[in-house]
Amino acid sequence: MNMEAIKIENLKKIYKGGTHALKGIDLQVGTGDFFALLGANGAGKTTIIGILTGTVNKTGGKAFIHGMDIDKVHDTIKRDVGIVPQEFNFNIFEKVEDIVVTQAGFYGLKRHEALKRAEKILKDLNLWDKRHQKSMSLSGGMKRRLMIARALIHEPKLLILDEPTAGVDVELRHGMWEYLTELNKSGVTILLTTHYIEEAEQLCRNVAIIKEGEIVKTGSVKELLTTIDKQTYVVEVDQIASHVKLDDFKWSVLDDRTVEVEVDQKKTLNNFITCLDKEGILVRDLRPKGNRLEKLFLNILNS
């Protein structure tokens, strides 16, 4: 039976002090999915993750992981879940290998088995050479990878990543994307929260946007992108003449060789390029301005 990896029904959380972090959320993440949960700071993403992983008590509602109710069999569920929290939360005085092997022990793995697995994971994540170093001496990127290694040591079926690439340089981020994509292909369901919308668009198949404790949009990334009614492009041309008229488009001149044009869904880029062609203007380069999902995200947040 292909059940959801995560199923959340009317999930509510009110923190002490009265903050309504979650106002009755419904969410489903399919098994094997790579799912993004997007939202501004304080939207409730980390609260959802906290409830699913057992570090936050919910106020109301239900949550199921692989069909199991977290209220009834959370210990069983925890065996299937790996979590990479937003903040570094390992003991900074402990050695890299000890952190991973101790975590394996929390899942019932015998030490000799844990050591074997730790070797593989630390090698995969390029941390093997650092295994005897105290975690405090690692760079930010290495610490992120250590968090992933620790989350994977018990071979979870569901991996939850709370902003895993925050503060990671571009090269390393791309390396992590590749690693996560491979992991997802191997059958691990991934729930990702991120501030890098580009990351979600690149990696994830499905997405939910959360705003002030409520899911305001959910669906496949492709599907959501089709809801964007306008797209802005930056166009590099060989010349801009003052007499040029492109009345069908909303456009503006950025400099003597660059224009910005807004194209709505009813028209195509072909229309625009044809117009330029008629005016004898050659297009040298064309790119979307900003990220499409980011635009949608901002539209929703600002609505």
Partner 1 sequence: MYLQLIALQSIVRREIVRFLRIWVQTLLPPVITQTLYFVIFGTFIGSQLREINGVSYMAFIVPGLVMMAVINSSFSNVVSSFFGSKFQRNLEEMLVAPVKPWVMIWGFISGGILRGLLVGLLVFFISFFFTWPSIHNFGIILLFIVLTAVLFSMGGMVNGIFAKKFDDVQIFPTFVLIPLTYFGGVFYSIKDLPEFWQTVSQFNPVLYMVDGFRYGFYGFSDVNIWFSIFILIAFTLIVGIINAYLIRKGIGLKS
- What residues make contact with partner 1 under the rule CB under 8 A? 15-16, 50, 53-57, 74-76, 78-79, 81, 83, 85, 87, 89-94, 98, 102-110, 150, 154
Nearest distance in Å: CB 182, partner 1: 23
Nearest distance in Å: CB 100, partner 1: 11
Measured at the CA of 4, the angle between CA 3 and CA 5, to 5 degrees, comes to 115
Of 46, 81, 47, 84, nearest to 64 by C-alpha is 81
For residues 70 and 197, which CB has a smaller minimum distance to partner 1 in the complex?
A: 70
Q: How far is CA 45 from CA 52, 56, 86, 195, 265, in A?
A: 11, 12, 11, 11, 31
Let me know how long the chain is.
303
Adjacent-strand bridge partners of 184: none
Nearest distance in Å: CB 145, partner 1: 16
For residues 92 and 253, which CB has a smaller minimum distance to partner 1 in the complex?
A: 92
Nearest distance in Å: CB 18, partner 1: 14
For residues 13 and 292, which CB has a smaller minimum distance to partner 1 in the complex?
A: 13
Find how far residue 105's CA is from the centre of its chain: 29
Q: Classify 259 as helix, strand or coil.
A: strand
d(CA 224, CA 303) in angstroms, rounded, equals 16
For residues 107 and 233, which CB has a smaller minimum distance to partner 1 in the complex?
A: 107
Helices within 206-268 (DSSP H only): 221-225
For residues 53 and 189, which CB has a smaller minimum distance to partner 1 in the complex?
A: 53
Nearest distance in Å: CB 290, partner 1: 35
Q: Which helix (H) or strand (E) holds 216?
A: strand 214-220
For residues 96 and 224, which CB has a smaller minimum distance to partner 1 in the complex?
A: 96
For residues 99 and 259, which CB has a smaller minimum distance to partner 1 in the complex?
A: 99
d(CA 28, CA 31) in angstroms, rounded, equals 10
Nearest distance in Å: CB 75, partner 1: 4
d(CA 153, CA 15) in angstroms, rounded, equals 32
Nearest distance in Å: CB 281, partner 1: 58
Read off φ and ψ for residue 99, nearest 5 degrees: -60, -45
Q: Which helix (H) or strand (E) holds 119?
A: helix 111-124
